[in-house]
Amino acid sequence: MKPDLFDLTGKKAIVTGAAQGLGRGMAEGLMEYGAEAVLLDASATVETAATEFRNRGFACHALRVDLSDRNALQRTFKEAASLLRDRVDILVNSAGIQRRHPPEDFPIDEWDAVINVNLTAVFMLCQLAGKIMLAQGSGKIINIASINSVVAGKNIPAYTASKAGIQQLTRSLANHWASKGINVNAIAPGYFDTPMNTNINSENNPTRYGELLERIPARRWGEPADIKGTAVFLASRASDYVNGVLLPVDGGFLGL
Ligand SMILES: NC(=O)c1ccc[n+]([C@@H]2O[C@H](COP(=O)([O-])OP(=O)(O)OC[C@H]3O[C@@H](n4cnc5c(N)ncnc54)[C@H](O)[C@@H]3O)[C@@H](O)[C@H]2O)c1
């Protein structure tokens, strides 16, 4: 019998931003490989997503929370852990927002909003999950960074700063926790066709869409299913000796 390095049976997962897009795709992957998951999201559609997953036989729960509200974040994380019987094997931080303005006109309240959701909430969730994982002596944290952790893009200074922060936060946590059985890694998605990118997709901004497509060696944008395998890998024992990496899932964008 082949060993199943990717089996997640019985593993308990918390996935943020899981109502749609990449978070939903990754949560689906973890559950397909056996994990029980709590989906956290600000959108009411998180309930619908969880119902659809339960109808497919997955162990899935949903909690609504605005992760930029620090008290709500702490309260809801506790609730999520308690739904998982106070075990957290996997944390996927996928909730994120994008705001686009030229740097000289970038409103400071939008800067704060991006940093709060994309960076501060991720750190707080890593802290909360990290404490449980340290007590367990094991855990997998997957932070969703971006190709913008490495290349700056256009009109997205706050997003770029937040995602570069995620790369170094991931390394910093990995430095401290790798020896304690916790793997902290980041995924850097390229361009994916999700609601986050509606205003630069082929329909709404064909010029920018075309420029970006030209820059992707795979000659296509990604779909949420394209990121599942990487999430399962980083959540499973197949990645037990992988620490602090930024793993691009980008159709080759960063290599061009
Ligand atoms: N789509 C891409 O091309 C792309 C590329 C690189 C990185 N990423 C990153 O991947 C992650 C997921 O992106 P996506 O494309 O799925 O985006 P999306 O907009 O489709 O989904 C993001 C989800 O996060 C939730 N969310 C946003 N703010 C929240 C808050 N304050 N509290 C709780 N939930 C909140 C939203 O409700 C939504 O369900 C993000 O971190 C994003 O930065 C996306």
Q: Which of 14, 15, 22, 160 to mutate to test the pocket of ligand 1 (most atoms within 8 A of CB)?
A: 22
- Looking at residue 240, its pLDDT comes to 98
Q: Which of 74, 97, 143 to mutate to test the pocket of ligand 1 (most atoms within 8 A of CB)?
A: 97
* Residue 93 near residue 162, CB atoms below 8 Å: no
CATH of the domain at 85: 3.40.50.720
Please provide the average confidence, as pLDDT, over all residues in the chain. 97
Residue 65: band (very low, low, confident or very high) from pLDDT cuts 50, 70, 90: very high
What is the mean predicted confidence (pLDDT) over 118-143? 98
Indicate whether 101 belongs to any domain: yes
* Residue 106 near residue 160, CB atoms below 8 Å: no
Over 90: is that where the pLDDT of 227 sits? yes
- Looking at residue 204, its pLDDT comes to 94
Nearest CA to ligand 1 atom 41: 96
Is residue 20 lining ligand 1, measured as CB closer than 6 Å? yes
- Top mean pLDDT of 2-6, 207-211, 244-248 is at 244-248
Total structural domains within the chain: 1
Could you tell me the residue range of the domain that residue 78 belongs to? 12-196+225-248
DSSP 200: G
Is residue 67 lining ligand 1, measured as CB closer than 6 Å? yes
Atom of ligand 1 nearest to the CA of 46: 39
Indicate whether 212 belongs to any domain: no
Is residue 128 lining ligand 1, measured as CB closer than 6 Å? no
- Looking at residue 256, its pLDDT comes to 81
Give the model confidence (pLDDT) of 161-200 as tens digits.
999 999 999 999 999 999 999 999 999 999 999 999 998 9
Instruction: Give the residue from 69, 72, 120, 70 showing the smallest Cα distance to 93.
Output: 120
Give the model confidence (pLDDT) of 91-126 as tens digits.
999 999 999 999 999 999 999 999 999 999 999 999
Indicate whether 208 belongs to any domain: no
